[in-house]
Amino acid sequence: MMKIIKAKDYKDMSRKAANILSAQVILKPDSVLGLATGSTPIGMYKQLIDWYRKGDIDFSKVSTFNLDEYVGLDDSHPQSYRKFMQDNFFNDVNINSDNIYIPNGIANNYDCECRNYENRIALAGGIDLQVLGIGHNGHIGFNEPKEHFERDTHIVCLKYETRKANSRFFGKLDDVPRHAISMGMGIIMKAKRIILLASGERKAEILHKSMYGKIDPYVPASILQLHPDITVVADENALQSDGI
Ligand code: F6R
C-alpha cells in the first residue's frame, strides 16, 4: 500500500521530503542513500543544506548512490549528473567524497561499470532510503517504458520525450546524450524505503496512473505499487487527479 503525503506546494513538498531524509540519517547515521537529480529534489537538497549549516544534520557517515548518469559526459561537464550533485548538494554538506557514488559516464567498459555499481551497492549493505522523481512518461531513474522491467543496472537508450524534456538544461536537443547508465528496477525495489517526489500538475496524470493503474512496464513507476515501504510526497497540483 503506497502511503501518500500531500504537500501544499513545491516548498512544502521539499521540506517534508527533507524531514524524512533527515530523520533517516538521525536514526541511522551511516545510512546508504539512493539519490536523484532533476528539478524535483532541488528544494529538498536546499533544505537539507540549510539544516546541515544550522548543525541539525551530520552526513559524515552517510554513503550515497545516484540513480543515473549520461553516457559520454565526464564529471566536469556542466550537464553531468555528477556536476549537478556537486553543485546542488555535495559541495555544501559533509558527505565524505569517498562515499559518494555516481555511475561513471565515461567508463571504458560499460557492462563492467554497471556490474561494479551494483556490487558496490550490495557491499554497502543495500539502499536504506531511495529518493525518486518521476518522468512524464513514468520513468524512474532512466528506466524508460518498454516491454519488460529492466532488473539490472544497464545502459538505456533515452526516449525522444525524455531527451526533449531534458533539453531545457542543454542548449539544444542535439546536445542531449542519447544514452545513460541507470540503476535497474531490481536495486530500486530492494531499497528498504522509497520516497517518490512529484510536484506540479504536469505530473498529475502519470503519478495517478503509476499509483493506481495496472502494473505495466510501459509505466515503469507502476512497479512501485509492489514495494512494501513506499511513500509518495507530492504537492496538491500533482495529486489533483487523486481525489484526496
Ligand atoms: C534523475 C532521474 C529522473 C528524474 C525524472 C524527473 O536522476 O532519475 O528519473 O527524476 O526525469 O525529472 P524532473 O524532476 O526534472 O521532473
- Ligand 1, atom 3, residue with closest C-alpha: 141
Q: How many CB atoms lie within 10 A of CB 31?
A: 21
Atom of ligand 1 nearest to the CA of 40: 14
Q: Which three cell numbers stand for residue 169?
A: 538544461
> pLDDT tens digit string along 128-179?
999 999 999 999 999 999 999 999 999 999 999 999 999 999 989 999 999 9
Contact 220, 149 (CB under 8 A): yes
As a whole number of angstroms, the longest Cα–Cα distance in the chain is: 49
Q: Ligand 1 centroid to 166 CA: how many Å?
A: 9
The 3-state DSSP composition of the chain as helix, strand, coil percent (nearest 5) reads 40, 20, 45
Q: Which pLDDT score, from 0 to 100, does residue 72 have?
A: 96
CA–centroid distance, residue 97 to ligand 1 (Å): 23
What is residue 240's predicted lDDT score, i.e. its pLDDT? 85
Residues of the chain where predicted confidence (pLDDT) is lower than 70: 241-244
From the CA of 133, give the closest atom in ligand 1.
Answer: 10
pTM exceeds cut of 0.95: yes
Which residues form the catalytic set? 68, 137, 139, 144
Position 213 scores a pLDDT of: 96
Q: 36 C-alpha to center of ligand 1: Å?
A: 7
Which atom of ligand 1 approaches the CA of 68 most closely? 7
Residue 144: name the closest of 70, 218, 213 by CA.
218
Per-residue HEC secondary structure of 42-87 comes to HHHHHHHHHHHHCCCCCCCCCEEEECEEECCCCCCCCCCHHHHHHH
Residue 242's pLDDT is what?
Answer: 56
